[in-house]
Amino acid sequence: MTATYIALANTTVTGTPSTITFGSIPNTTYTDLVLVMETITSTAAGKIVRLNGDSAANYSFARISGNGTSATSGANNNGTQILSLVATDTSTERLFTKIDFIGYRRTGVWRVGIVNNGRASSGVDMQAFAWRNTNAITSIAISLSTGTFTAGSTLALYGIVS
């Protein structure tokens, strides 16, 4: 089955925001969502992603990471966000991140997805996550653990029709 990506929103940073939010996400038509980011930040920082403004301990994840020399893994059952883990942004090198939100509007099931990160100097990581909530995703907020996004960072949200 061929999937079609429909651009829902995109942002190229011009100022120095610490949070970027995609709101009013429609809960019809699309089967999945994909968020693609290419970012630089003012200081070394991890990304924090929250759904529908939820900052309670409702997120679970399992992750694997590698840098060509070593590998790590981990899990958390009571997180307060989806994280961009190993490959944190720096002020000099772009971090590429893709987050797939699978079945973002299906009823009666938790929201699940996969995060992929990569940067040449620090390796790659993959995280499977669950947001323990059965509501459709209507907003996605991306913030930083410290600092601000740098001008030229790009973020795009796509709806998937399959």
Give the total residue count for the chain. Answer: 162
Distance in angstroms (rounded) separating the CA atoms of residues 67 and 70: 6
What pLDDT digit, counting tens, does each position of 19-76 carry? 999 999 998 889 999 999 998 888 877 789 999 999 999 999 999 988 888 998 999 9
- Domain 4-161: give its CATH code: 2.60.120
Identify the CA nearest to 42 among candidates 158, 154, 146: 146
Tokens of 28: 């019809």
Tokens of 38: 């290419």
Q: Give the pTM.
A: 0.92
Instruction: Show me where the domains of the chain are located.
Output: 4-161
Q: Place 87 in a pLDDT band, splitting at 50, 70 and 90.
A: very low
Give the list of residues 6+ apart from residue 130 with CB closer than 8 angstroms, or none: 59, 60, 61, 110, 111, 112
